[in-house]
Structure 1
């Protein structure tokens, strides 16, 4: 009963405090953005509300799970992750609107993400992404009250930087956070070329990293790079004043490639049927069949569990990682066709029934979709 009681308390806090706080902040963000001097600038085809939809998807909710870590202020972590996702989604909307596919142009666009997770560098954002006909804006480190004429994009970037800078152990985790963000940007920079070109570029890029991660494929590494989960985990870790370099190293082994890869591959698997862009890479499509996909996901789940058991608060991290998997495994798309059998086998072989049911309950409560 001990583990069931712990899990019940975990989900009660997540559903009763963390997710309601995330919705409160997301709703308040609309008003805050309107108060930014440039927030009312006209933008054809999209508004800032486009990045603030109804219910949270599993990708964001998984990041919020790390607010349950010891020492983490759940309100601050939620605020940080909401702002980081806002930046990424806003820039992706702009990229799609302008049909930007060139690597250099994408890197120039995403430099705002790099600055958002690195308070030591100048804040540079392409404000054209907000529909403002101006060149890129650059700001040196200054307090929020000193910043004038900031577009919403920069409001969020500055919020991320300030929240990171005041964390007691930020310097211990900064290299990991920057590494995760750089891999995310690398992936986005290569994935939007025509499929034949992008696949070759991603193979070449991933080959350097695969020298270290010999147990995974090129596409599994790409999937692991396509998420902010590791950044959320390291943000929570930076809230611990006396965290050691060894503890950060062990957490890094959990996050990349195992947890990030596991969740990203689950996301790709359950979203494959509803993908509307034939040129969009779905990393689960590179497996020969669903059986191979199932076996690899079980492998990632086992590796994630094994890495978690090395951590100081292993029982809590196991709860977090399994809860993250449960959010994807409870997706309604997981019940269609042969995918239903695959998901059922994954749940059974990884002992994720409790967490899949918890994810389903969160969906029924309309806390996530």
Structure 2
């Protein structure tokens, strides 16, 4: 009970800082990128850039929670998170909403993700195989902004290999998941099959979910601010986030969109579970693993707050008010513990006030 009270108090403090200190910093960065997109480049690319910022702002807000990690300068880190997440969201729009289904084009575009995280690498021509080309320097500027912040991280050399591994997996997922529905599933299974033997506890589509999160990249960047970071700590963070915390993040995201995606025919990893019972069982399992792993990490209270926050943020979404989703939501919250329930109640309140 004492631990729960301490966690609740620290969680409330963190959430307060997150909303009143970090959200305004995110807004400030996004204004800069919106202005850049509006004033540069051809209309088709500018429209996709502006749409990605408008509809996916919450991705930047969520990733920016790592600016509250111990020893991290908030303003600099928000700049990094917003730039990298904006690359991710912009490329998602280019692959999903511009009438293009070309694997080569998608793969070339996503070199921006790995270039952004590797200051020593030469820049690529990201639009070389894409139908539209002139963005007025928007994507290059986002990549360079990430690089400018990464060179400030004293221990980046320790996390670079794992960050680039996760970025490549993320890019491969985005390349395959946006292909024509007639070929994408088999292409994805062929790709996943080469990686899955390392992860015997999860299914192919759970692996795909884990590759779809940027949280592990953000956490590793935050940890790299610590000049005393060790290789052992990096290994623990990598194992905690991939596949568990990353996977929980994206599975919850797909869970709340499941009914919507079923109607629209969009790919949804949670829909591959056999039934609602299996959905509940596997999401519960990922939640347990994520919490167990979080407890082993440096700054474990922060890590546990992140995991509880994932439950709270996603399960407080009004989409979970549908009868089947509500039943699963309530059982997931029961399994997640008092801290997650407390944060869930706060998120519900914040949604009512249109703060979230």
TM-score, L = length of structure 1: 0.87
- Shift in Å, 1:290: 1.4
Q: Secondary structure at the match of 2:323?
A: coil
The CA distance in 1 between the partners of 2:61 and 2:149, in whole Å, is 19
The 1:332/1:302 distance shift into structure 2, 3 A limit, reads same
Q: Does 1:22 align with 2:23?
A: no
The 1:44/1:300 distance shift into structure 2, 3 A limit, reads closer
Which of 4, 10, 15 is the matching residue for 1:11?
Answer: 15
Contact conserved, 1:226 with 1:264, CA < 8 A, in 2?
A: yes
Per mean C-alpha deviation after superposition, the further-off stretch among 96-105 and 159-168 is: 96-105
Contact conserved, 1:101 with 1:192, CA < 8 A, in 2?
A: yes
Contact conserved, 1:56 with 1:367, CA < 8 A, in 2?
A: no
Residue 240 (structure 1) aligns with = 226
Q: Secondary structure at the match of 2:163?
A: helix
- Any gaps of 5 or more consecutive residues in structure 2? none
The 1:170/1:277 distance shift into structure 2, 3 A limit, reads farther
The 1:130/1:68 distance shift into structure 2, 3 A limit, reads farther
The 1:325/1:183 distance shift into structure 2, 3 A limit, reads same
Contact conserved, 1:42 with 1:131, CA < 8 A, in 2?
A: no
Residue 139 (structure 1) aligns with = none
- Any gaps of 5 or more consecutive residues in structure 1? 135-149
Contact conserved, 1:115 with 1:121, CA < 8 A, in 2?
A: yes
Q: Does 1:353 align with 2:341?
A: yes
Aligned CA-pair RMSD: 2.3
The CA distance in 1 between the partners of 2:178 and 2:34, in whole Å, is 30
Cα shift readout 1:255-277 (whole Å, capped 9, x = no counterpart): 10000111100000101222388
Report 1:1-369 matches (<5 A).
1-33=5-37, 39-43=40-44, 46=47, 48-53=49-54, 56-57=57-58, 59-127=59-127, 131-133=132-134, 151-275=137-261, 278-351=264-337, 352-368=340-356
Cα shift readout 1:59-113 (whole Å, capped 9, x = no counterpart): 4333122222111122222221211222223223333455332322211121122
Q: If each structure's helix is expressed as a fraction of its own residues, which one has the higher value? A: 2
The CA distance in 2 between the partners of 1:2 and 1:334, in whole Å, is 29
The CA distance in 2 between the partners of 1:130 and 1:245, in whole Å, is 43
The CA distance in 2 between the partners of 1:133 and 1:31, in whole Å, is 16
The 1:329/1:130 distance shift into structure 2, 3 A limit, reads farther
The CA distance in 1 between the partners of 2:103 and 2:38, in whole Å, is 32
The CA distance in 1 between the partners of 2:347 and 2:260, in whole Å, is 20
The CA distance in 2 between the partners of 1:248 and 1:225, in whole Å, is 18
Cα shift readout 1:139-172 (whole Å, capped 9, x = no counterpart): xxxxxxxxxxx61111111101111122111111
Cα shift readout 1:291-311 (whole Å, capped 9, x = no counterpart): 211111110111011111111
TM-score, L = length of structure 2: 0.90
Contact conserved, 2:154 with 2:224, CA < 8 A, in 1?
A: yes
